[in-house]
Amino acid sequence: MTAQIITIERHILEQQRRFPAATGEFTNLLYDIALAAKIISREVSKAGLAEILGLTGEENVQGEQVMKLDVFANEMFIRMNDHTGRLCAMASEESADIIPIPDRFPCGRYALVFDPLDGSSNVDVNVSIGTIFSIHRKVSTGPRGALEDFLQPGYEQAAAGYIVYGSSTMLVYTAGQGAHGFTLDPSVGEFLLSHPNIQTPPRGRYYSINEGNTHYWSEGIRRYVDYLKTPDEATGRPYSGRYIGSLVADFHRNLLAGGIFMYPADRQDPNKPYGKLRLLYEAAPLAFIVEQAGGRASDGRQDIRRIRPESLHQRLPLFIGSREDVNEVEQFIREFD
């Protein structure tokens, strides 16, 4: 009973104090995201009741329209952030173009990127899902935000984080001073610091990949996954396989327990020759977190955070997790692909 109880608000504020020039704008933006997360978490926890209270996307017993959870989460992020004067624009995985701040509201210094509910196909089967976010500084010179504010490489991110709606709801964020995890206490509605300064093991024991796609993998990936399954005491092989199919949950598990998540390029499918996951909404924010935790993220050839996006919804292969594991998969790709 001696551990300090630190709310996310206090933690963010204490981080802000290290920068005497900080205006508090950025701090407040993180508060807003934490509040949106609490509201989305509340709705996610009721998802199993949808059939009783009215199927999502249909009418409930009161004849009211019940919004689908991913639509709800998307709208919650927009409504929470469009009027605060902290943002110049937003970009959501759910929208084809950037979301401008309405003219009646002031324009701020930051650009917010989010994937409101990743893995949402898992909602119906009660499996963990997540939200991912990333914050950039406004770099465009016009009076409002522009595409340019979003097409910045990952190393320019001011902050990034995710929320995992699992057996409990957790928010993990970094503003470049370590990756910190908070667990939501639903009874008081507060995110409490539960995982300060997360460090991921340098080498993991787990690998996460959709093995149903084996047939489509390149030679390098096939050989690497085979290598992970081959017993070797020195490197702790064989690794155990864990794949949920919900990126935030798979990533979070490996971050804490050590391991590698992979979504390689799918060579056989002309619609996703560069992999399935998206640079801005998924790969870059998680890359910032994993690096702060001592891990790595790569597209198989270079660090994710060095890649300058060419478009909002650009997709790419992703290898992310424990440092030595990501180094190893890169070696296989270099040698065999």
Task: Return residues touching ligand AFP (CB under 6 A).
Answer: 118-122, 210, 245-247, 250, 276
Task: Give the nearest distance from C-beta 93 to ligand AFP in angstroms.
Answer: 9
Q: Supply angle C-alpha 276, 81, 307, rounded to 5.
A: 35
Nearer to ligand AFP, 212 or 231 (CB): 212
Nearer to ligand AFP, 28 or 210 (CB): 210
Task: Give the nearest distance from C-beta 121 to ligand AFP in angstroms.
Answer: 3
Task: Give the nearest distance from C-beta 285 to ligand AFP in angstroms.
Answer: 13
CA contacts within 13 A on the Cβ side of 308: 4
Q: Which value, in Å, is the radius of gyration of the alpha carbons in the chain?
A: 20
Nearer to ligand AFP, 276 or 296 (CB): 276
How far apart (Å, rounded) are the C-alpha atoms in residues 293 and 10? Answer: 21
Phi and psi based region of residue 256 (left: phi greater than 0; alpha: psi -120 to 50; beta: remaining)? alpha
Task: Give the nearest distance from C-beta 337 to ligand AFP in angstroms.
Answer: 20
Residues 6+ apart with CB under 8 A from 265: 218, 273, 274, 275, 300, 317
CA contacts within 13 A on the Cβ side of 228: 27
Task: Give the nearest distance from C-beta 20 to ligand AFP in angstroms.
Answer: 40
Nearer to ligand AFP, 101 or 171 (CB): 171
Task: Give the nearest distance from C-beta 11 to ligand AFP in angstroms.
Answer: 27
CA distance readout (Å), 164 to 45, 95, 190, 227, 334: 12, 22, 15, 30, 33
Q: Where are the alpha helices (DSSP H) in 1-45?
A: 8-17, 25-45
How far apart (Å, rounded) are the C-alpha atoms in residues 191 and 7? Answer: 6
Nearer to ligand AFP, 149 or 250 (CB): 250
Nearer to ligand AFP, 250 or 299 (CB): 250
